[in-house]
Structure 1
Amino acid sequence: MESYELKSQASSITRPAPGATRLASSVRERDDANLQRMGKKPVLKRNFGILSILGFSCTILGTWEGLLGTFTGPLTNGGSGGAIYAYIFGWIGTFANFMVLAELASMAPTAGGQYHWAAMLAPSKHMKFVSFITGWFAVLGWQTAFAASAFLAGSMIQGAAILGNEAYNALPWQATLITWCALSLALVINLVGGKLLPRAETVLLVVHIVGFFGILIPLVYMAEHNTKEQVFLSFQNGGGFKTKGLSWFVGMTTCAFAFGGADASVHMAEEVANASMVIPQALMLSLGINGCLGFGILIAMMFCAGPDLGGTLGQITGYPFMGIFLEATNSVSGSLAMSAIVIVIYVCALMGLLAAASRQLWSFSRDRGVPGWRLWSRVSTSRQLPVPAILVSVTISWLLAIIRIGSNIAMMDIVSMAISGIYLSYLVVSVLLFIRRVRGDISLYNDSDDEIINVPGAKLVWGPFRCPGILGTIINGYAIIYIAIIVFFSFWPSSMDPSIAEMNWSILAIGGAIFFAILYYIFRARHVYTGPIVEISL
């Protein structure tokens, strides 16, 4: 039987041989060869399969868990009926967004994600700057998303402590300490490496699905129900905007945010077997699973929530769902058990968030896009992990968690900044792909070609997953419109004429961060950053 040895100058891919071991080896060889076609050396170990990366994607999206923590937003601006229709609108828009990301991930399955795609799609004279800014949108989005998720997990644990003991006095510094503990757990799991993280994500997928029913069944069975008119025909303008329509758009972004983080699995692409097909499949399956679970929990909460949304307990904890659980079950222990399901998933999702944030930072550093790139781009040869990028990502979140001691409002602005950064990176690549596909600049997929593809100045080739013809163009165009709406309204405050404390400062935060990124580009990065570096040639 013909043997195959993967070399840096590889020019062909052998056919899979019989046997599971040989088949797995052949898949890895093909993945590494495809990565080499994009000019990158394979340095990370491919431990993720379809089930583990699906669990990774589903739990980071965490749509139904995310809605429990944020569903008061669309209720205030939109009402019960407005929240339901906003969710449907967001689900459809997210489908279009995921389809675009899946196509791009199939074309270029690298840890870089958005900045790599921007570089390969942008006009050559603007490529460096467009790719650089897109990379910084993603870096800011993912680093702050990891920090914000850790903060939410910590504050949710404090809320559960209040639920269990009304005499407990929750202090801001305690939330910071809890956040540090959750971050430390995520760090340990990521540093262990090997197959621990993929196996943990598979188990967490089961918890994600089973936990949904563990909350839905007792909630629906034990709570007093609102009428269908109250649920589907109730609209309100709690923010005092000029029209209910404008109020609905402001509240709608909360539902859309529950689908944020679609590119998490993309940044793990160099650790996924058969990435060009598995990543798109994981994206679309996670959208289907999370969309259904999220819609189910939203309908259940609308039927079971009282007019005061959890009462005093909901206000004190900051999470009305805990008060709603208590009102439904009339049992502190039962409410704690239901809340614990949500908290466990929030805490465990930090493992995947750290992995995605660190891989994105590592990849951008590999291409010299951030200060200190020589250090952050290093990979531990023994563990085959980007250990420096993992450590700096956790350190950033540790430092940002200190903000919670002084200001809860400032910490919530970091949450908004995370969403703005990630969605702005989606917007850039969606626009660039739309232009390219309308011009017909992308060739059909051919895995037998022995040439560099899908990097700046090289041939553009569709991956094995795509939506062809006019339908793909329509979906791509709709994704642009949807993402633009989300980005625009993500900068709005939740009410008209807000006070300083109520103002949404995320536009100032993201604008200031990008301003400093541009200064760095002018004085340093433009001399060293050239887009995705071609490390090898075929």
Structure 2
Amino acid sequence: MTGTHISVNSIGTAYDQRDMRVMGKLQELRRNFRFISILGFACTLMSTWEIVLASTAFALENGGSAGLIWTFVIVVVGYSFVFGSLAEMASMAPTSGGQYHWVSEFAPRRFQRLMSYMTGWLCVWGWLSGIAGVCFFTAQLIEALIILNHPTFVPQPYHATLLIIAVAAFSIFFNTFLAKKLPLVEAILLLIHIAGFFAILIPLWTLAPRANAKDVFTTFNNGGGWNSEGTSALVGILTAVISLTGSDSAAHMSEETKDAGVVLPRSIMWSIVVNGSLGFIMLVTFCFTLGDLDSILQTPTYSPLVQVFFNTTNSYAGSNVMTAIIIITLIASAISTIATCSRQLWAFARDKGLPFSSILAHVYHGWDIPLNAIFMSFIVTAILSLINLGSTVAIQAVASLSASMLLTSYMVSISTLLLRRYTGPNLPTRRWSLGRWGAVVNIVALCFLSVFWIFSFFPPTAVVTTTTMNWNSLMFAIIVVVALVYYLLKARHEYVGPVMLVKRDS
């Protein structure tokens, strides 16, 4: 099934056309992503080695170098099972809806509609807050670079707000005027992602003094005042979780991917291999070149990363170039995040799950992208950036809000898949399968996710004040309540659960 404005070359393979017929959807977007471009999309969106470096302050305070390294290993192992579970579902139903569609298909009939609807809201807000989060990390690095070069500069809240909006606006340009070239752009960004890795790694290896291996791997820090170093390290696990969250991004681009039923799961699994490996190598290198932890955490730039670069090179020019590389790759992440978020918005609106669904679901002929959803992603990001004017702590919580919401969507979708395995009917046919290990992989994934989810709500210190509170829990609760109220008042009369359109028997 295809819209009349989509050319024959853009509708994908026979498998793609069959999948769209089975899911009861029209082909409205161009399928111009292939394996390398969609792999680049997923890798640059997560930007694992960049984000884990940009957010090290939190984990160094809670865990130290040893905590940072070992929690990253735990997260990579755990996410391998999560990625595998999501990859199999993406092969069963390669749709831009992602998790909320999978829940609609696999949940018990009695709960399908409400569970699917709530999962859709979680995904939408998870990705909306994800845009704000990555733009905020970028803004922080830009401010740190300014402070390094101009020590008298005192950043004001509105500076970060304007920088967040500027990064988002720049990313919108790539998602609109360069939309037809986005696959090529993503392939190029993958090369920048990998080349930038070596551009940072080599100076650290060759110029920075090295710490003792025993100290790096065994020295923990309990700067948050928790009851044990182990608890402190688990609180700091959020840094690793954020750097690897977003494996479902490729799935939300499925209706723009050729041969999606097999290309998507392969790209999802390769993304954990590529980003997990790069992230681990960079993280260990960074911890070996960290220097004195207390002085790094008290840096006037407010960024341990920028301070380590300066200590390593003893050069403003060298520090500027190294930091600029990470800023560029984080902007690339923002480009991919906006693309993912807009497709999630568009797909959910297509099933009438949001206010103004008819507007958000509209695709303009000639553009063949969800323009209205793209611009809505920008508008919400700009609004969220205003939070920084009142509370820097609150805008920081937006990043953990993205993680907790997406983690919840993973848990719900994998749980319904596991239930379907045991209660039937048989799972849909798929071209990429976990085989007989499927149930085990799903169970292990849920065990890891439950730990990640719990600690995503923890504050950075044991003594909680208005400045150390993790406002993620409050924002999470507000969004869930608003979603439930909207469902009861309006959406239950309009929302079309995707399973109602699925025609697998035919």
Report the TM-score range of the alignment, normalised by the length of the smaller protein.
over 0.9
The alpha carbon displacement at 1:7 in A equals: 7.0
The alpha carbon displacement at 1:462 in A equals: 3.2
User: Do residues 166 (structure 1) and 151 (structure 2) align?
Assistant: yes
Q: Tell me what 2:491 maps to.
A: 525
Q: Tell me what 1:485 maps to.
A: 451
Residues 173 and 236 from structure 1, CA distance in 2 versus in 1: closer, same or farther, beyond 3 angstroms?
closer
Partners of 2:15 and 2:261 within 8 A in 1: no
User: Do residues 192 (structure 1) and 177 (structure 2) align?
Assistant: yes
Q: Which runs of 5+ in 2 are unaligned?
A: none
User: Percent of pairs identical after alignment?
Assistant: 35
The alpha carbon displacement at 1:248 in A equals: 2.2
Structure 1: distance between partners of 2:130 and 2:15: 33
Residues 91 and 532 from structure 1, CA distance in 2 versus in 1: closer, same or farther, beyond 3 angstroms?
same
Moved more, 48-57 or 406-415: 406-415
Structure 1: distance between partners of 2:353 and 2:50: 34
Partners of 1:310 and 1:323 within 8 A in 2: no
Deviations along 1:220-273, one digit per CA (max 9) or x if unpaired, are 211111101111121232222222222222122321221011111111100000
Q: Tell me what 1:285 maps to.
A: 270
**TM-score for the superposition, normalised by structure 2:** 0.95
Moved more, 517-526 or 314-323: 314-323
Structure 1: distance between partners of 2:301 and 2:429: 49
Structure 1: distance between partners of 2:102 and 2:320: 44
Partners of 1:365 and 1:376 within 8 A in 2: yes
Q: Tell me what 1:398 maps to.
A: 382
Q: Tell me what 1:15 maps to.
A: none
Task: Give 1:253's aligned amino acid.
Answer: L
Deviations along 1:131-175, one digit per CA (max 9) or x if unpaired, are 011111101101111112112212221221222222333222222
Task: Give 1:282's aligned amino acid.
Answer: S
Q: Hey, which bits of structure 1, 4+ residues long, moved more than 3 A?
A: 24-30, 308-312, 533-538
The alpha carbon displacement at 1:416 in A equals: 1.6
The alpha carbon displacement at 1:60 in A equals: 0.6
Deviations along 1:259-317, one digit per CA (max 9) or x if unpaired, are 011111111100000111111111111110100100011100110001236648x6333
3-state secondary structure, aligned to 1:315: coil
Partners of 2:63 and 2:232 within 8 A in 1: yes
Partners of 1:115 and 1:135 within 8 A in 2: yes
The alpha carbon displacement at 1:440 in A equals: 4.9
Task: Give 1:33's aligned amino acid.
Answer: R
Partners of 1:309 and 1:320 within 8 A in 2: no
The alpha carbon displacement at 1:434 in A equals: 1.1
- Name which of 342, 363, 368 aligns with 2:347: 363
Q: Tell me what 2:316 maps to.
A: 332
The alpha carbon displacement at 1:72 in A equals: 2.9
Residues 534 and 188 from structure 1, CA distance in 2 versus in 1: closer, same or farther, beyond 3 angstroms?
farther
Structure 2: distance between partners of 1:276 and 1:309: 50
Q: Tell me what 1:13 maps to.
A: none
The alpha carbon displacement at 1:85 in A equals: 1.4
Deviations along 1:51-102, one digit per CA (max 9) or x if unpaired, are 1111100001111001101223333222322222111111000100000110
Q: Tell me what 2:395 maps to.
A: 411
Partners of 2:66 and 2:219 within 8 A in 1: yes
- Name which of 258, 267, 272 aligns with 2:252: 267
Partners of 2:12 and 2:257 within 8 A in 1: no
Structure 2: distance between partners of 1:441 and 1:92: 30
User: Do residues 461 (structure 1) and 428 (structure 2) align?
Assistant: yes
- Name which of 204, 208, 211 aligns with 1:226: 211
The correspondence of residues 234-313 of structure 1 with structure 2, limited to 5 A, is: 234-308=219-293, 311=296
Cα RMSD (Å): 2.0
The correspondence of residues 1-400 of structure 1 with structure 2, limited to 5 A, is: 27-308=12-293, 311=296, 315-400=299-384
Structure 2: distance between partners of 1:371 and 1:176: 26
Partners of 1:41 and 1:535 within 8 A in 2: no
Partners of 1:71 and 1:254 within 8 A in 2: yes
3-state secondary structure, aligned to 1:65: helix
Q: How many residues align?
A: 502
Larger radius of gyration: 1
Deviations along 1:484-512, one digit per CA (max 9) or x if unpaired, are 11111111112212211101111111011
The alpha carbon displacement at 1:193 in A equals: 4.6
Structure 2: distance between partners of 1:124 and 1:26: 32
Partners of 1:40 and 1:534 within 8 A in 2: no
Deviations along 1:174-196, one digit per CA (max 9) or x if unpaired, are 22222222111111111125432
Q: Which runs of 5+ in 1 are unaligned?
A: 1-5, 9-20, 443-459
**TM-score for the superposition, normalised by structure 1:** 0.89
